[in-house]
Amino acid sequence: MDFGVNESNLNKKSKTIFEKLSSMDYKERHIEMGKLYPVVLFKHGRIRIDFIAQNTIKHASIRNLVGPEIYINKVENFEFLMENKRKINIKYKNKKYGIFCPEPVAFLLHKCVTFIDRDEKEKQAKDLYYAYFILRYAPEEIFKDIKKYNKNIRLKVFENIKKYFNFKTSNACMVERECGNDYYIEDLRGDIFERFNKFAKILK
């Protein structure tokens, strides 16, 4: 489970997120052997809780909110997601809460920009799987306002698709392995190739 942090929500709190979660049912796992901090927290010892911020954010500036004990993933262009979000209202135990999530198209664009920077092929494949999921299942009308998103981001996505999905046999099309068996599409790799390249055509 990922939570985004940016400069707009870093006001001093009575307790940091680490202090609050440490008093609840969250387990700590250390990032480096021999070092007490930073740590990653797990709900019930199973569900990983990650905090993500723009890679240019200063670590000192997030201490007031998250706490210096928690590991922060710093991601390039993450602010793009924070700028393009929508509010989802949920109800839990007779209380209403507002949760902000990335716009689906913004999430898709971000995955298509950052997957090439992944050091591990497994994480790269996971990013592409998320992107393909949106391309396959999202209604087409969500793409009608594609031009409202940052032009530099769109052009970078266009370049990445043309480079990594230039042939049906390209390595990026191997995201089919993440999908597993598909009983609805016979040529899954071909479908992946076509959907990414169709998306590229509307980006410029």
DSSP 110-135: HHHHHGGG-SSHHHHHHHHHHHHHHH
Residues 6+ apart with CB under 8 A from 155: 203, 204
pLDDT at 18: 92
DSSP letter assigned to residue 184: S
Residues 6+ apart with CB under 8 A from 80: 106, 109, 110, 150, 153
**The tokens 């998103």 sit on which residue?**
149
| pLDDT tens digit sequence for 17-66 | 999 998 888 889 988 888 889 999 998 878 999 999 988 887 776 778 88
Nearest CA-CA partner of 113 in 57, 164, 179: 164
Q: Where does the pLDDT of residue 10 fall: very low under 50, low under 70, confident under 90, or very high at 90 and above? A: low
pLDDT at 160: 95
Specify the length of the chain in residues.
204
pLDDT at 179: 67
Instruction: State the Cα–Cα distance between residues 131 and 109, nearest whole angstrom.
Output: 8
Residue 180 has pLDDT above 80, yes or no: no
Instruction: State the Cα–Cα distance between residues 21 and 49, nearest whole angstrom.
Output: 10
Measured CA distances, 191 to 57, 156, 167 (Å):
38, 22, 12
| pLDDT tens digit sequence for 117-141 | 888 888 888 899 999 999 999 988 8
Q: Where are the domains of the chain?
A: 2-75, 103-201
| pLDDT tens digit sequence for 82-112 | 999 999 999 988 899 999 999 999 999 999 9
pLDDT at 9: 59
∠ CA 39-5-66 to the nearest 5 degrees? 40
pLDDT at 133: 93
- When pLDDT is averaged across residues 173-184 and rounded to a whole number, the result is 72
Q: Where does the pLDDT of residue 182 fall: very low under 50, low under 70, confident under 90, or very high at 90 and above? A: confident
For 65-82, letters b (16+ CB in 10 Å) and e give bbbebbbbeebebbbbbb
Q: Tell how strand 85-92 and strand 95-102 pair up.
A: antiparallel
- What's the pTM value of the predicted model, to 2 decimals? 0.85
Q: Where does the pLDDT of residue 171 fall: very low under 50, low under 70, confident under 90, or very high at 90 and above? A: confident
∠ CA 153-130-90 to the nearest 5 degrees? 95
